[in-house]
Amino acid sequence: MAELLRPFRLRGCGSPQKFGVAAGSLRGLLRKGCRLLQLPLSGSRLCLYEDGTELTESYFRTLPPQTELVLLGPGESWRGCECARDGEDPGRYNRRWRSSTGVSRSAYAAGASDIERFLVAFCSQGDAVVAAARRLLADERAPRRQKLLADLIHNLSHNILAEGREEDKSWFEGVESRFKSKSSYMRYSCQSRIRSYLREVSNFLPKVHPTGREAYRSIIDLMAERLKAAKYNGSYFDRREEEEAARLCTTEGWFSCQGPFDCAACPSKHSINPYSNRESRIFFSTWNLDHIIEKKRAVVPTLAEAVTTRGRREVNWEYFYQLLFTVENLKLVHIACHKKTNHNLSCDKSRIYRTQQAEPRCPRAAAGRLPSRRILSKQPQLATPD
């Protein structure tokens, strides 16, 4: 009988990076973890991240999904996350925890809320639920019930937390062999979109007035250098990105539609997990990173005009960089929420050029003249949701 896979969060000793790994046994999880972190299987072991309790096969079966674990190689030790932070003896820490909560730390880690217990029970019978849903679907004639059953089967049949090719071979069908994990492919997918935006900016160069082309070309170079340093903002689609603000998904890979450019949120509550299965990965490619202030109609033409009419002023290229390549002006939207009409939004004129205090030609002239330059706002004024 095949082992029932359960998802866990795994990290190496002393490493902040976490990986989603699914396994049905302690031995299976240990084997996958050693392969993932490139540690020898012999002498390696698993323990709880929170208090360092080493796992046995029987204890492993009591853990709820998503328990955070540490993989220890030969000679390594882990005393627990709290102990690691303040240097406290683990035994003393566990006694202090029991006195303040009334339960042991290991019992707390193995415990679960009502919702978690429900999900564990539901997932443990996932195969039976799918089989029952398929039997019902075979006899169902009502379109809405057919769709409900089909969606249920679809969502229970995927392997969300698997990362590598060997863990979810069907997900990688049609994906180049150089991509060894789902996250690396999703990061590349986002980078490809950002690179295409840079190409569009570069391709506009022939339309720039000859007097501004050199400055425009220099700004393209600066933007390209900044993007390269930021790895083309590929973290937006990477669920393994540690910094939450640097990604648009949850740690499990769920993305939510942010709604049309003129709305604060998605009215239809669209969501998707392209990490779940091949079909979702392909469909996610139809979701758009939509520019609130439009790239072609507003941002690029304004940049071209700015370099042409700048005079002695310095173009604020970082402002245009934010509008073109960052979530300051990008919204992730479902294809149904992507409005292709004219947004009728323009760049903030007060941010097109850098603000510089003009130096007076002589003290006498400065003393007899009030400042004539208006104080410019430093806050971006992008789209105002309806």
Contact 261, 298 (CB under 8 A): no
Q: What's the pLDDT at 113?
A: 43
Cα 382 to the center of its chain, rounded Å: 23
In degrees and rounded to multiples of 5, residue 256 shows phi and psi of -115, 135
pLDDT at residue 150 greater than cutoff 80 = no
Angle between helices 114-124 and 126-139 (to 10 degrees): 70
The percent of residues in the chain predicted with pLDDT above 90, rounded, is: 45
Per-residue pLDDT, averaged over 270-279, amounts to 88
Q: What's the pLDDT at 105?
A: 45
**Nearest alpha-carbon partner for 48 in 11, 103, 5, 93:** 11
pLDDT at residue 136 greater than cutoff 80 = no
* Average pLDDT over the chain, rounded to an integer: 80
Q: How far from each other are the two terminal CA atoms of the chain, in whole angstroms?
A: 56
Tokens of 256: 């939510």
Window from 146-150, 277-281, 332-336 with minimum mean pLDDT = 146-150
Contact 237, 144 (CB under 8 A): no
Instruction: Please tell me the number of Cα atoms within 13 Å of 21 on its side-chain side.
Output: 28
Residue range 241-254, pLDDT digits in tens: 988 889 999 888 88
pLDDT at residue 273 greater than cutoff 70 = yes
Window from 102-111, 175-184, 212-221, 346-355 with minimum mean pLDDT = 102-111
Question: How confident is residue 365, by pLDDT bands cut at 50, 70 and 90?
Answer: very low
Per-residue pLDDT, averaged over 149-175, amounts to 79
Q: What's the pLDDT at 356?
A: 67
Per-residue pLDDT, averaged over 265-279, amounts to 88
Q: What's the pLDDT at 363?
A: 43
Per-residue pLDDT, averaged over 84-90, amounts to 48
Q: What's the pLDDT at 271?
A: 87
In degrees and rounded to multiples of 5, residue 80 shows phi and psi of 115, 155
Q: What's the pLDDT at 59?
A: 82
Structure-model confidence comparison of residues 170 and 122, the more confident one: 170
Task: Quote the CA–CA distance of 298 and 295 in Å, as a whole number.
Answer: 6
Q: What's the pLDDT at 229?
A: 96
Q: What's the pLDDT at 346?
A: 95
Tell me the Ramachandran region of residue 257: left when phi exceeds 0, alpha when psi lies from -120 to 50, beta otherwise: beta
Question: How confident is residue 355, by pLDDT bands cut at 50, 70 and 90?
Answer: confident
Q: What's the pLDDT at 275?
A: 92
Contact 30, 72 (CB under 8 A): no
Question: How confident is residue 138, by pLDDT bands cut at 50, 70 and 90?
Answer: confident
Tokens of 372: 């004539």
Residue range 317-332, pLDDT digits in tens: 999 999 999 999 999 9
Structure-model confidence comparison of residues 223 and 146, the more confident one: 223
Q: What's the pLDDT at 140?
A: 67
Maximum average pLDDT range among 94-108, 241-255, 262-276, 292-306? 292-306
Task: Quote the CA–CA distance of 200 and 224 in Å, as a whole number.
Answer: 12
Window from 158-162, 294-298, 299-303 with minimum mean pLDDT = 158-162
Q: Can you give the pTM of this predicted structure?
A: 0.58
Residue type, position 102, single letter? G
Structure-model confidence comparison of residues 272 and 331, the more confident one: 331
Question: DSSP labels for 265-315?
Answer: S-TT--EE-TTS-HHHHHHHTTSEEEESS-IIIIIHHHHHHHHHS-TTPPB
Window from 79-88, 96-105, 165-174 with minimum mean pLDDT = 96-105
pLDDT at residue 378 greater than cutoff 60 = no
Helix (H, G, I), strand (E, B) or coil at 380: coil
pLDDT at residue 94 greater than cutoff 80 = no
Contact 256, 266 (CB under 8 A): yes
Q: What's the pLDDT at 131?
A: 72
Structure-model confidence comparison of residues 54 and 194, the more confident one: 194
